[in-house]
Amino acid sequence: MFSADYEEFLEALADPDHEQHEDMVHWSGGDFDAEDAGADTIIERFERLAKKWAPRRRKPKATI
């Protein structure tokens, strides 16, 4: 179950007439849709991290 604070946060974001709507939109970083987790953005960022963290081939050390 959600905490009371989170429920109030979602209510304020969902209701443009809520007295804390603008503050919560600003605090959360912009537009927010509680029904949309932003799967496309999550996948894109995950793929970027996976590429960054992928093992890289190492060049063999030169022998003298």
8 Å CB contact between 28 and 13 = yes
pLDDT given at position 32: 63
pTM above 0.75, yes or no: no
Instruction: Round to whole Å and give the CA distance between 4 and 62.
Output: 63
8 Å CB contact between 46 and 38 = no
As a whole number of Å, the end-to-end CA separation of the chain is: 65
Residues of the chain with pLDDT under 50: none
pLDDT given at position 19: 95
Mapping DSSP to helix (H, G, I), strand (E, B) and coil, where does residue 50 land? helix
Instruction: Round to whole Å and give the CA distance between 1 and 12.
Output: 18
